[in-house]
Amino acid sequence: MSWVSDLFEYAKAVGNYWWAIFGWVTFVTGDGANWFGAKDWLDRKIAVQHRRKLEIAIMVGLVFYAGFEAWNDQHGKLQTTGDRLQYWQGVAEARREQIEGKEGNGGLQAALRDAQRGAATSGPPPSVIRPKPHLGRLIAYDGPSIYFDPNAPNGPMGFLGVRFPTRNVSSETISIEVAHLSVSLDGALAMRGDHLNKGFLPQTQTMPFNFKRIEGVLPVSQDNKTITVEFEVDYDTVPATGIRRSYRKIAYPLTWPNGPKGEPQSSEPQMLDSWER
């Protein structure tokens, strides 16, 4: 019985324009020309049999007119709904990358449900969609490195500290700190610290993070193979927009090109792990 409901919906839509049809039918069947005293004039100008054919043709034309206007109304509503749906799908897509990986598929489905509800209930979409910008990386490191005691009086050179100058590559001032730092010599802990050197770093400027062993020089010999440096830098914009975390784990293989009493060199630093969150 679906065709019955479809027919009813069609009649309901066309009904708004049936006034033209019924008005014409009433005029013709009721010999409406008499109401205006025009019947005699029409009989002289147009024969009755020809006039009836013309009246029927006009009535058929009015039927098509009513159908077209009903279709045009529904088409306009469908276009408006489609525009709204397209806008809210764009909003859902903008939210997807923020949700994905944090709230999982459930969060994504919630965003899509919000978009569908918005398409059904909201007004016309704005001319420009401005999704919230994502958190981005705002810092860069200028050559993390280790250094040794340049004044060792006797014996082999000793490990003294680590430096990793950090540059603000954004257009905003940021608050920054070294959340964690650890250095190991062949797996044995050489130095460690947490929440170090908290401060503010203006745009385009560099923070010269430079840390020395509190215990002093750590002797290094040709038996030692690798110094491993691991650090995490946390930072945020001013005013705050969300904490970013930057992590590096770097291995420095040791070589002795100048003999056992010379300064050791790192042949080629090796990036063991890194991420930005």
Over residues 143-163, the pLDDT tens digits come to 889 988 866 555 556 888 999
Question: 274 pairs with which residues across the strands?
Answer: 248
Q: What is the pLDDT of residue 60?
A: 74
**Average pLDDT of the residues in 58-84:** 68
- CATH topology for 139-276? Immunoglobulin-like (2.60.40)
- The pLDDT tens digits for 186-238 are 999 999 999 888 899 999 999 989 999 988 888 888 888 899 999 999 999 99
- The average pLDDT across 117-132 equals 49
pLDDT at site 193: 92
Which of 172-176, 206-210, 217-221, 269-273 comes out lowest in average pLDDT? Answer: 217-221
pLDDT at 29 over 90: no
Query: How far is residue 97 CA from its own chain's centroid?
Result: 5
**89-110 pLDDT, tens per residue?**
665 666 665 555 444 445 556 5
Mean pLDDT over the full length of the chain: 75
Query: What pLDDT score was predicted for residue 249?
Result: 96
Return all residues near 102 (Cβ < 8 A) that are at least 6 apart. none
CA-based radius of gyration for the chain? 41
Predicted confidence at residue 141, as pLDDT, reads 93
Listed in sequence order, the residues at least 6 apart from 139 whose beta carbon sits closer than 8 Å to its beta carbon are 166, 167, 168, 169, 170, 174, 176, 233, 235, 246
Asked whether residue 273 carries a pLDDT value surpassing 80, the answer given is: yes
Q: Where are the domains of the chain?
A: 2-121, 139-276
User: In angstroms, rounded to a whole number, what is the distance separating the alpha carbons of residues 181 and 161?
Assistant: 11
Between 200 and 265, the higher pLDDT residue = 200
* Predicted TM-score of the model (pTM): 0.51
